[in-house]
Structure 1
């Protein structure tokens, strides 16, 4: 028999599992929803003295109760913050645990507090400020108001009634549970794991595979044969939004099912390192620090296109983005048509790096405009993937020399788990300031739904404000289609987008 031990996330208790637990039990499983000190009960208990070790002890008590029976496989399920006490407990009882399920949760690390997994920087600052305050009230983080839950995780799919219940039963989170570092011996590394990704939060198997293929050392372990993944098309609270589907996935996870990721370098080259879809001239490049210039044969100052890669891309990735077939392909294509093609490596290595990446892009633009071979009054910016968020800086108040903004399979609004709620990186909002600036948007028909949703939002905002947006569709194209099985459809889309951008530069 499988015994599921369910551990809830921030501000919540065992009550959130009621429907999913009932479905697991109906399928013949034994189910234990852990009551965490300071969180379960009306309004929770006082936070003083409650820390991460307290919650690890709560989980250990349940494991010790159920984990000694013969032929009983214990599967620990940690949602959100709950993965930290789950991993801490599994590290001390690794021999009794059949599997850990990470339910829309991060990857806890030895010596790192749970607060580091909170993606929203303003929320992290709020916790730090409370921790520095004297007084009993400073022992806990108050639970969100009804309209604030979205900042802690996407509420997509949660009914109004369920959201009301979640708010009514929420408890203050003891600060010690967020601030105390997790301590691991390493024993937990031997326990098989399953990740359940909630796409409404902005996570997907396809996104993870892309990042693993980049060679991110922090994600290398995710391609281990003992690690599997499932997706749920819902927000951060699947036990409330789709308990039946969640129960089914948990049962399949316990059985060892799920999608396995391909390790970096396995078999054929990863998608982003395959050849560019067009034959382009092998024009020489000039390297200036983190910026490369591809110069046309034409004489005199020429317009320029600055190509801005996406990410996050680990700092250790080789080749770096400006040397990838996609970036070099676009830059050489532009140079072959008579304009200066520009690529750069910006520092979007993590989701918290958009400020640095934007500063790198701005510096590169100024460098390019200062080159005597460039017509400083005729520059275009072309953004790819998550680099699309940086376009907000240029859409909101476009300078007179910016003749066009282009975006290919872009992310045009921060995804829910990216922690950018209060940032300026919202092209969906910024487009209202674009005025007459032309925008050329290349849309992949087989885009990841979470990204496609941001493009839909952007186009609605652009229509509402009368922005000049041309859409180039690739109906059968995927994210990164330039190196994914090129077709005549995708080739023509690149040609059309380039013709349009260059037309705005030379008009």
Structure 2
């Protein structure tokens, strides 16, 4: 049986996986939803990008997990992708859920059209944190009003340094066994960096007909994909 370590994207915590975890455990697997430093119940803890990488590695080591499937959503693909190579033989697969992927020496905002200038300015204006977004940000992603209210209500400002500090990779992500989940209501096709990685024999693409937050909009369907990934 696999041990899933689930990490949600910016502004979210372990609670974001509440509807996915039961399906994984019902199938006999371990499921460990992780809150990164500075978010949710860990709000206020200082955090840079490497702090978040270490959060993931520490969870694996502290729990003594083996046959690990690391799951990173949105922003969290950046720390999860780095942690995946650092846990060595413990890794079974890494799953990127409509996420960014790390590139050595590049930050989360490096690939943004303005090089992240807008995000950096927002962080500077908000005391070092990426501020919350309004409910309108979630429109068009297959979410009900109740689901949007839950996301907005549970979100916390995101530690800004985690978005602007560079990733550190010892080798290409293409060498890792990986599944990329593309949420079609968010983007019709993967970005250039992911498209290149998908040419690797170790990577595969799965599409979901939902928006950027499938753990809320389609938790059972997402769980089924994760279970399939664990069996590969």
* TM-score of the superposed pair, with normalisation by structure 2: 0.91
1:126 shift after superposition: 3.0
Residue aligning to 1:455: none
Where does residue 19 of structure 1 map in the other structure? 19
Whether contact under 8 Å (2:9, 2:74) holds in the other structure is: yes
Is the Cα–Cα contact under 8 Å of residues 10 and 158 in structure 2 kept in the other structure?
yes
Larger Rg: 1
The residue number in structure 2 matching 1:185 is: 170
Q: Deviations over 1:119-161 (max 9, x none)?
A: 6x59x4332214555xxx42111111212335xxxx5221111
**Structure 2 counterpart of 1:129, from 121, 140, 148:** 121
Partner of 2:44: 46
Aligned: 1:227 with 2:198: no
Contact 2:8 2:16 in 1 (8 A): yes
SS in 2 for 1:19: coil
After superposition, the Cα gap between the structure-2 partners of 1:37 and 1:21, relative to the gap in structure 1 and judged at 3 Å, is: same
3-state SS in 2 of match to 1:200: coil
Out of 144, 149, 152, the position equivalent to 1:159 is: 144
CA separation in 1, counterparts of 2:193 and 2:95? 21
8 Å Cα contact 2:70/2:93 also seen in 1: yes
Deviation at 1:202, TM superposition (A): 1.9
Deviation string for 1:157-199 (max 9, x for gaps)?
Answer: 2111111010011000110110111111117543200011111
- Answer yes or no: is the 8 Å Cα contact 1:52–1:182 preserved in 2: yes
Distance 2:176 2:150 in 1: 35
CA drift of 1:221 comes to 3.3
Distance 1:217-1:31 versus aligned 2 partners, 3 A rule: closer
Change in 2 beyond 3 A, CA 1:246/1:219: closer
Of structures 1 and 2, the one scoring higher in RCO (CA 8 A, sep 6+) is 2
Alignment partner, residue 225 of structure 2: 249
CA distance in 2, matches of 1:246, 1:218: 19
**For each residue in 1:97-137, what CA deviation from the matched residue of structure 2 results, as whole angstroms up to 9, or x when unmatched?**
11110100123100111123556x59x4332214555xxx4
Matched, 1:31 2:28: no
RMSD: 2.3
CA deviation profile, 1:447-504 (whole Å, cap 9, x unmatched):
xxxxxxxxxxxxxxxxxxxxxxxxxxxxxxxxxxxxxxxxxxxxxxxxxxxxxxxxxx
CA 1:218/1:73 → structure 2, altered by over 3 Å: closer, same or farther? closer
Alignment of 1:106 with 2:91, yes or no, is no
| Mapped partners of 1:236, 1:218: distance in 2 | 16
- The unaligned stretches of length 5 or more in structure 1 are 257-507
Distance 1:93 1:132, change over 3 A: same
8 Å CA contact 1:143–1:171 kept in 2: the answer is yes
Deviation at 1:233?
0.5
Distance 1:23 1:250 in 2: 10
Matches within 5 A, 1:371-382: none
Three-state SS of the structure 1 residue aligned to 2:179 is strand
Q: Which runs of 5+ in 2 are unaligned?
A: none
Q: What is the SS of the residue equivalent to 2:102? A: coil
Q: Which residue of 1 aligns with 2:2?
A: 2
Structure 1 residues 128 and 65, CA gap change in structure 2 (3 angstroms): same
> CA contact under 8 A between 2:13 and 2:40: conserved in structure 1?
yes
Q: Do the aligned residues in 1 keep the contact of 2:36 with 2:55 (CA within 8 Å)?
A: yes
C-alpha contact (below 8 Å) 1:98/1:191 kept by paired residues: no
Detail structure 1 runs of 4+ shifted over 4 Å in the superposition: none
Scaled by the length of structure 1, the TM-score of the pair is 0.43
- The reply on whether 1:149 has 2:141 as its aligned counterpart is no
Matches within 5 A, 1:314-333: none
Conserved 8 A contact 1:75-1:100: yes
Q: CA deviation at 1:63?
A: 1.2
